[in-house]
Amino acid sequence: MTETEASPRRRPSMLDVAETAGVSKAAVSKVIRNAYGVSPAMRERVEAAIRELGYRPSIAARSMRGASFTLGFEIPQLANDFFTQVMQGAADELAGSGYQLFVAPAVGDVQGAPVLQALRDRRVDGIVAISPDAAPEWLEQLGVEVPLVLLGRHDPSRSYDTVTSDDAAGARLAMAHLIELGHRDIAHLTVDASPQVPEELLPHTRRLHAYTEAMRQIGAQACVVSGGPLELQARDAAWELLSGPGRPTAVFAANDTLAIGTLRARAELGLNADELSVVGYDNIDLASHPLISLTTVDQRGHETGAIATRLLLDRIRTGRAEAHHEVIAPALRVRGSTRPPEEQQPG
């Protein structure tokens, strides 16, 4: 009486499938890749064996020769609903494509390059990145090695694609709106920029320049406050700006998260929209909430993510090498957070 060998409960490998189906590994490989040159009969038997064994190919092993069927998405900050919106757009576009999306958040001072490296080390088939502080030359090199799309960069890149809002135009929209309402004392709240990257390539510095230019045109004094990217950091920065003397009548915040932080400070200081107008940039979902009602510049995050994904898949599937540069036209969304300035108080 022969003992049935206790099955080691090992994950079935391609060899197991091949043996159960009575064919070669190569045949199994062709079937799972839908490769050319398999008879219907063979396909039938192999698929039956796969089902019977509950076989799943090891992506790790596949990655060594072929594709990993994995796309990496690097984001610099988790607590920013705009990025969530972009990711959602990317994820939706990817549905049913056979690719799995992995989001690699930058955390602490592990920003940009190291995260992109981590993605690359894991042999992802393509990368979408929002890396405001990666140097263009470095990205150019990465783009040669792996299909790459950058969001929110105005780089005239050759090896990677870009998708970005027309930030100068968007910022002009915001400023024109405030100025038309009658504001002249307009402050700008932005985030500290990386020294690694030429100024003109980044959204925040472009918006800043448009702000400065607009102020110059109306002959007003520019006032720029800059700090961290988190809502509470923006609150702190705004608090300082608003509680001091010579408080502005309006704040143009470089993105919606900063704007929400400004609204927090405004409310905490007992001010309302008549006393301080606030404009943001992004049009996150929350901006349309009636309790927030934030005037902002729409840069269609969901669509941005979808476009980026399409560009990436195109690069992967067709091997395209020429860079594409998509620019999203911004649109102003006027809501309750902006009002004409109050009548000047008599001295």
Partner DNA sequence: ATGAAAGCGCTAACAG
Partner DNA sequence: CTGTTAGCGCTTTCAT
Residues making contact with a copy of itself (CB under 8 A): 11, 56-61, 63-64, 68, 70, 78-79, 81, 84-85, 87-88, 91-92, 94-95, 100-105, 107-108, 110, 115, 117-118, 120-123, 145, 231-232, 260, 263-264, 267-268, 285-286, 289-292
CA separation for the pair 251, 175 (Å, rounded): 10
Q: Tokens 């993510």 — which residue?
A: 305
33 binds DNA (CB under 7 A): yes
Residue at 143: amino acid letter: G
- When asked if residue 117 is in the footprint of DNA (CB under 7 A), the reply is no
- Check residue 42 for interaction with DNA (CB under 7 A): yes
Residue 84, C-beta contacts closer than 8 angstroms, at least 6 positions apart: none
**Residue (175 or 238) nearer to a copy of itself, CB:** 238
Query: Looking at beta carbons only, is 210 or 294 nearer to a copy of itself?
Result: 294
Q: Least CB distance from residue 332 to a copy of itself, whole Å?
A: 21
CB of 147 to DNA, least distance (A): 16
| Rounded Cα distance, 205 and 254, in Å | 9
> Pick from 19, 25, 47, 185: which binds DNA (CB under 7 A)?
25
In angstroms, give the least distance from the CB of 48 to DNA: 14
26 binds DNA (CB under 7 A): yes
Toward a copy of itself, which CB reaches closer, 122 or 247? 122
- CB under 5 to 8 A by kind: which of a copy of itself, DNA, none does 10 bind? DNA
- Residue 307 exposed, middle or buried by CB count within 10 Å (0-12, 13-18, 19+): buried
**Residues 187-215, buried b or exposed e (16+ Cβ, 10 A)?**
bbbbbeebeebeeebbbbbbbbebbeebb
Indicate whether 62 belongs to the interface with DNA (CB under 7 A). yes
CA 289 vs CA 80, 286, 302: distances in Å: 16, 5, 18
| Residue 188 · residue 208 · CB < 8 Å | yes
Which one of 19, 32, 102, 223 is in contact with DNA (CB under 7 A)?
32
Stretch that binds DNA, among 18-26, 152-160, 221-229, 318-326 (CB under 7 A): 18-26
Answer yes or no whether residue 344 interacts with DNA by CB under 7 A. no
Q: What is the end-to-end Cα distance of the chain in Å, rounded?
A: 107
| Range in contact with DNA (rule: CB under 7 A) among 57-65, 107-115, 210-218, 316-324 | 57-65
DSSP state of 105: E
Dihedral of CA atoms 11, 17, 19, 24 in degrees, nearest 10, equals -130
